[in-house]
Chains A and B, each alone.
Chain A
Amino acid sequence: MNGPVRILIAALGGEGGGVLASWIVDSALACGYVAQRTSVPGVAQRTGSTTYYIEMVRDEGLSPVLALAPTPGEIDLFIATELLEAGRLIQAGFVTPDRTMTIVPQRRVYTITEKIALADGRADSDLILSAVERFSKSRRIADFDALAAKAGSHLNAVLFGVAAQMLGLSADACRRKIEQDGRAVSANLRGFDAGLAYDEAPAPGEETANVAPTGGDFPFAGDFLAGCSAETRVLVRAGLARLADFQSERYALAYLERLARFKTMPGMSAETFGELARHLALRMSSEDVARVAQLKIRDARLARVKAESRARKGDIVHVTEYLKPGLYELFSMLPAPAGRGLLRLAAWAGLEHVSAPLRVRTSGLAGFLQMKTLSGLRRLRPVSLRASEEKAWIDEWLAAVERALRINAAAAHEIVLTAQLIKGYGDTWARGHRNWRLIVDALIAPGLAGRIAPAHLADAILQARLAAQADDRGTRLERLIASLETMSLAPAAQGNVPA
């Protein structure tokens, strides 16, 4: 190759991208190159994006003039320590099909903007992967993170191995540099060799354990399930299992009966029905105090904690829960009249926001007993205030879906999805209900009453749902609803408005 070999490394601050760059440069020097590296760390070292740039050219005695910054369209090897970083530099034009070899792990380290979304704000990994495929001359895409874990080393050592392989650097020279470094030598050597030995084997997918639904068999559901699509079957089974565990088999049966009514309704698509099955199961098992307590003292859960804790043999593991049930969470478990009374009393005394910060060591006897007692409240659940309120909500929601099905299937689908807004605890839970009520009053009710053209209704509800999930202060939703109200939505013909 005439001219220098140009290498661009994209990393996150504090990830060892600098060490990777120095390994490459030092090995290149040892292999008869003149090499130069630069970087722009600054505060980026604090978890932000940063890049390292290397130029290396065969040593001919004369000192070459090497550039300090990468040039778009002139990168021979591009290494990213994370998928989105790769995507952004591809977007900046540094990766070109005529010359760029790309090394990138499938791992994602989510940015804060992705993480703070109220629902799912993650960037589309597949889109980025396809861009790597398309714009690189050649590529090594794999779960190098897992490879590193297997080798018990850091990611950068593995990437060094892959890079050495692609650059044709002498493996011994590279190993010597790692040894001269003197830091975590054996781990880095293991990682390097793992990377060096890597050949494009089909890479394992992103780490997201997709456990199959714990669908215990429900004989009574057999025929019903038979009539469902495969996807729906998974959901319904999961729903049944969840509800049987949440309350009882009879409760699960009630779920099935509710579903059965809708299954055969005209205008009900398989997709809508699947979503209905999903959300109905979730709404029928809303996380009240008893449910939370029940989950906290599960075998499976404690086993999971143990695994997560990376404890060695002989270590003792303690789990302490951070709980802060408010008065509502507690009183709403009582029989409806009592619960209502106490809550009114609390409101009168101005105590409605009182809550009890608890740190419960569920791995200990005392904590276990507390949770055991709380989980016992599920026997009271059927007559509890919370249950009656949840039931009222579900009935209103289902009724709206049912009426919408007679007007416009798309609108019905969107109404089903509004259940997404109801989740969480405390403020989150209250916010969800507030937003949902806003949408019902401003759109769903008028829509079902024929004051909004069916054609517009579905889209309006969709927009409202997205707006409700855009920020946690409800600003976007209020603005949207205000704008919809000013918008003149043609009233539908009175004919097809249900009574």
Chain B
Amino acid sequence: MAEISFKREIESLTLSEGETFRGEGIIAVTKALLQSGVSYVGGYQGAPVGHLLDVLVEAKDEMTRLGVHVEPCMNEAAAAAMLGASINYPVRGAVTWKSIVGTNVAADALSNLASPGVKGGALIIVGEDYGEGASVIQERTHAFALKSSIWLVDPRPDIANIARLVEKSFELSEASNSPVMLELRIRACHMFGSFQTKANKPASFSAKQRIEAPAEFEYMKLAHPPVTFAQENDKFERRLPAACDFIIENQLNEIRGPATHDLGVIVQGGLFNALNSRLEAAGLSDIHGNSKLPALILNVTHPLAPKQIEAFCAGKKAVLVIEEGQPDYLEQAIGQILRKADLQTRIYGKDVLPMGGEYTQRVIGKGLAAFLRAGGEPNEALETWLSGLERHEKTVREALGAPLPARPPGLCTGCPERPVFSAMKILKNEIGPTHVAADIGCHALATFAPFDQGNSILGYGMSLASAAAVSNLQARKPVSIMGDGGFWHNGLLTGVAGAMFNRNEGVLIVMKNGYTSATGAQDVPSSAPSPDGRGGEADIERTLRGMGVASITRVRTYDIGKMIKTLRSKILSRGKGLEVIIADGECQLARQRRIRPLNAKAVADGRRVVRTRFWVDPETCTGDHSCIRLSGCPSLTLKSSEDPLRKDPVVHVNNDCVGCGVCGEVSHAAQLCPSFAQIDVVQNPSWRDRLKQRIETRIIRWLGGAALT
């Protein structure tokens, strides 16, 4: 089960005709899917769209009622392939993932889906992980839409408009027999708003209303020569024009502002709100988006309907194309449309706006100001705002001096993966550096201080594969790190199978924390079975043995001493092929969610419960902080020294401590200092506890010592 409970969200998914949905953008999309009569939904978790799948997985009752098949897929390729159902059958399906990375993984299936095209509406909801808060490479999904003739919807971020476009996307898909992608930027996914709902629509074919007979054999449905040649032509001779007509007839794109004006703006739907805020600042629009500057809002960014572009630009001296990210696909396409139509409208875009990076209001405002200047309508309000900002920033810089320290994310308090990296750092000090192939997952946070390790990241589950050549070109064996999420996502095949097949030497650490924790603790095949979970207890060790891996050691991650010993022997050994360490330790977030209520109940019921936490002795801590350099636990922090003779802050364990013991283990393993103490609080002590305590206290007192009472 996922990190957060979606009780409220699930209720909002069952709203019927004319009620008001209030909630997050991505949940609104989910509701719209159900209103569109989807037969199946799949995908792979990941911010910012992960909630779509999480909530459907939890909304069992409603899904059963509607007969919707929900499938958390093993990876994005599997999700894309699942859309194959809509090639042969008149069923609507939707899948979701984080882009660009997920789309990269899905690319093969996507090409093979788009070539024959679809009968039932096929919708791909991608979280465009771009700009502030993004955790992936900065590329555009647009490229995939272009190369595979998949239509790309980029809705103006208004919940009602987003819901409308989800439903329209299915119609567009069916009208043009092409899959459709709907891209939502991070903030749009997490935007809270409302819209008027319709009742959920049961699909004509579903898990409840099964399809009678398999589809007829039709070669045109196969992405295989010779029909691939015909399919290519069909994309441009039939599907593309059909899509363009649909876009215009259904007014998927919006035009605002006066019909005639020298200047105009063509903007990606997703950026309109940011643009409008700057138009407001310029006195060229109001809070309701009534722009005085003609604006063509592209809720669909591929394909562009040439007629629509020509009509909008005709009679204008210049238009500004506001298009986030690179390369400037829209600007190129619009330029070509105008050239072909022999329109002399001047195009501004990446010349007044930056090629890369998020288009914040600041960025758009700057570009807009430059455009208006160039267009002969300089805007004083905007210019004043911009120059004011620069002045202010200068003053602030002078006041605060050097940039303040950043705060990148880190491993949680008590994280079972931290001790592995502590062990690696301690070992590095002993035997020197080793090539570390890092991967995607919480463990990627070990690339930050205090661990600062990892030589490469090549994608989710790719660490071992990325070390293949290195292991054969370097004196010392490389260490590859992989989470159980990445292991099942594809690391098992691309990594392990490859290493075995090629007899590569190397050390693989599989972080077995039981979930894909970075995306919100979703289950993986090796998760422990639970009433509301999907874990099947597929065993990683047995799987590896089955693939012929001989050297596998399971180590409890918190046992740093053993982890160091195991790592040392595996890194330094030779001729053993692939050696695996299964770093075993349940995600602490998940664990705490599980045991906190149980413990609380036990204490309330008067049962004996021992609560453990750690503590640093401020009298023996000399403020060198090497423990923090080896652990980095959030609950291991600083406190000004109480000793007037000592200036450096001492280490302090705050009350978030979950008593995992890593700091103590580290102080032992690295032989740090005698300042760490474990505090065990025996709640509801037994009579034995109390008796022992009383006797010992008595004697200690008698020996002139202090005692805890």
User: B437 within 8 Å of A by Cβ?
Assistant: no
**A116, B288: Cβ atoms closer than 8 Å:** no
Q: Mark A112-129, 1 if CB is under 8 A from B, else 0.
A: 111111111011000110
- Nearest-neighbor residue (CB-CB) of B393 within chain A: A93
- Nearest-neighbor residue (CB-CB) of A425 within chain B: B673
**Set of chain A residues within 8 Å of B664, measured between Cβ atoms:** 322
User: A463 within 8 Å of B by Cβ?
Assistant: no
**Set of chain B residues within 8 Å of A3, measured between Cβ atoms:** 280, 287
CA–CA, A46 to B518, complex, Å?
A: 8
Interface of chain B residues 164 through 206 with chain A (CB within 8 A): 185-188, 190-193
**Set of chain B residues within 8 Å of A109, measured between Cβ atoms:** 637
**Set of chain B residues within 8 Å of A238, measured between Cβ atoms:** 643-645
**B518, A43: Cβ atoms closer than 8 Å:** yes
- Nearest-neighbor residue (CB-CB) of A210 within chain B: B642
Interface of chain B residues 351 through 368 with chain A (CB within 8 A): 360-362, 365
Q: Mark B417-460, 1 if CB is under 8 A from A, else 0.
A: 00000000000000000000000001001001110000000000
**Set of chain A residues within 8 Å of B696, measured between Cβ atoms:** 364-365, 368
Which of B191, B619, B674 meets A425, CB within 8 Å? B674
CA–CA, A13 to B360, complex, Å?
A: 22
Which of B187, B639, B707 meets A68, CB within 8 Å? B187
CA–CA, A446 to B696, complex, Å?
A: 59
Which of A13, A39, A110, A369 meets B637, CB within 8 Å? A110
**A38, B190: Cβ atoms closer than 8 Å:** yes
CA–CA, A130 to B649, complex, Å?
A: 23
Give how many A-B residue pairs fall within 8 Å (CB-CB).
345
**A40, B708: Cβ atoms closer than 8 Å:** no
User: B594 within 8 Å of A by Cβ?
Assistant: no
User: B276 within 8 Å of A by Cβ?
Assistant: yes
Given the interface contacts A238-B643, A317-B681, does A91 sit within 8 Å of B400 by beta carbon?
yes
**B48, A118: Cβ atoms closer than 8 Å:** no
**Set of chain A residues within 8 Å of B134, measured between Cβ atoms:** 42
Of the listed stretches A81-89, A219-227, A481-489, name the one at the interface; the rest are far from the partner chain.
A81-89
- Nearest-neighbor residue (CB-CB) of B25 within chain A: A38
Which of A12, A73, A322 meets B678, CB within 8 Å? A322
Given the interface contacts A299-B706, A372-B705, does A38 sit within 8 Å of B187 by beta carbon?
yes
Nearest-Cβ distance from residue B572 to partner chain A, whole angstroms: 18
CA–CA, A325 to B667, complex, Å?
A: 11
User: B490 within 8 Å of A by Cβ?
Assistant: no
Which of A48, A296, A359 meets B409, CB within 8 Å? A48
User: B251 within 8 Å of A by Cβ?
Assistant: no
**A292, B705: Cβ atoms closer than 8 Å:** no
User: B272 within 8 Å of A by Cβ?
Assistant: yes
Which of A50, A301, A364 meets B617, CB within 8 Å? A301
Of the listed stretches B32-40, B321-329, B499-507, B620-628, name the one at the interface; the rest are far from the partner chain.
B620-628
Nearest-Cβ distance from residue A350 to partner chain B, whole angstroms: 16
- Nearest-neighbor residue (CB-CB) of A71 within chain B: B361
**A423, B623: Cβ atoms closer than 8 Å:** yes
In this complex, the interface size class of chain B, counting residues with CB under 8 Å from chain A, is 35 or more
User: B371 within 8 Å of A by Cβ?
Assistant: no
Which of B404, B645, B689 meets A282, CB within 8 Å? B645
- Nearest-neighbor residue (CB-CB) of A473 within chain B: B429
- Nearest-neighbor residue (CB-CB) of A83 within chain B: B404
**A320, B678: Cβ atoms closer than 8 Å:** yes
Given the interface contacts A39-B187, A112-B448, A427-B670, does A322 sit within 8 Å of B676 by beta carbon?
yes
User: B461 within 8 Å of A by Cβ?
Assistant: no
**A40, B411: Cβ atoms closer than 8 Å:** no
**A123, B405: Cβ atoms closer than 8 Å:** yes
Q: Mark A287-303, 1 if CB is under 8 A from B, else 0.
A: 10000100111110111
Of the listed stretches A59-67, A194-202, A262-270, A381-389, name the one at the interface; the rest are far from the partner chain.
A59-67
User: B407 within 8 Å of A by Cβ?
Assistant: yes
**A316, B690: Cβ atoms closer than 8 Å:** yes
Which of B276, B400, B689 meets A90, CB within 8 Å? B400
- Nearest-neighbor residue (CB-CB) of A45 within chain B: B409
**A47, B706: Cβ atoms closer than 8 Å:** no
Which of A44, A71, A278 meets B362, CB within 8 Å? A71
Given the interface contacts A47-B634, A122-B638, A322-B664, does A67 sit within 8 Å of B273 by beta carbon?
yes
CA–CA, A127 to B645, complex, Å?
A: 25
Nearest-Cβ distance from residue A235 to partner chain B, whole angstroms: 6
Of the listed stretches A151-159, A305-313, A392-400, name the one at the interface; the rest are far from the partner chain.
A305-313
User: B241 within 8 Å of A by Cβ?
Assistant: no
Which of A12, A114, A282 meets B646, CB within 8 Å? A282
**Set of chain A residues within 8 Å of B393, measured between Cβ atoms:** 72, 93
**B668, A322: Cβ atoms closer than 8 Å:** yes
Interface of chain A residues 429 through 474 with chain B (CB within 8 A): 472
Which of A47, A297, A318, A369 meets B679, CB within 8 Å? A318
User: B700 within 8 Å of A by Cβ?
Assistant: yes
User: B289 within 8 Å of A by Cβ?
Assistant: yes
**A322, B667: Cβ atoms closer than 8 Å:** yes
User: A25 within 8 Å of B by Cβ?
Assistant: yes
Of the listed stretches B229-237, B372-380, B384-392, name the one at the interface; the rest are far from the partner chain.
B384-392
Q: Mark B653-686, 1 if CB is under 8 A from A, else 0.
A: 0010000000010011011111011111111110
User: A355 within 8 Å of B by Cβ?
Assistant: yes
**A355, B671: Cβ atoms closer than 8 Å:** yes
**B360, A41: Cβ atoms closer than 8 Å:** no
Given the interface contacts A68-B274, A211-B642, A365-B699, does A116 sit within 8 Å of B191 by beta carbon?
no
**Set of chain B residues within 8 Å of A428, measured between Cβ atoms:** 622, 624, 626, 672-673
**Set of chain B residues within 8 Å of A322, measured between Cβ atoms:** 664, 667-668, 674, 676-678
Nearest-Cβ distance from residue B646 to partner chain A, whole angstroms: 7
CA–CA, A73 to B281, complex, Å?
A: 11
Which of B133, B192, B360, B396 meets A42, CB within 8 Å? B133
Nearest-Cβ distance from residue B527 to partner chain A, whole angstroms: 20
- Nearest-neighbor residue (CB-CB) of B632 within chain A: A112
Nearest-Cβ distance from residue A46 to partner chain B, whole angstroms: 4
CA–CA, A45 to B445, complex, Å?
A: 12
**Set of chain B residues within 8 Å of A472, measured between Cβ atoms:** 626, 629
- Nearest-neighbor residue (CB-CB) of B287 within chain A: A64
**B683, A69: Cβ atoms closer than 8 Å:** no
User: A323 within 8 Å of B by Cβ?
Assistant: yes
Nearest-Cβ distance from residue A354 to partner chain B, whole angstroms: 10
User: B647 within 8 Å of A by Cβ?
Assistant: yes
**A110, B677: Cβ atoms closer than 8 Å:** no
User: A191 within 8 Å of B by Cβ?
Assistant: no
Could you name 12 residue pairs across A and B whose Cβ atoms are closer than 8 Å? Answer: A3-B280, A43-B445, A65-B288, A72-B362, A73-B389, A84-B407, A113-B449, A116-B625, A127-B400, A287-B674, A316-B682, A362-B677
Q: A: which residues have CB within 8 A of B?
A: 3-4, 12-14, 22, 25, 36-50, 53, 57, 62-69, 71-74, 84-85, 87-88, 90-91, 93, 96, 109-120, 122-123, 127-128, 130-131, 134-135, 206, 208-211, 213, 234-235, 238-239, 242, 278, 281-282, 287, 292, 295-299, 301-303, 305-306, 308-312, 314-326, 355, 357, 359, 362-365, 368-369, 372, 420, 423-428, 472
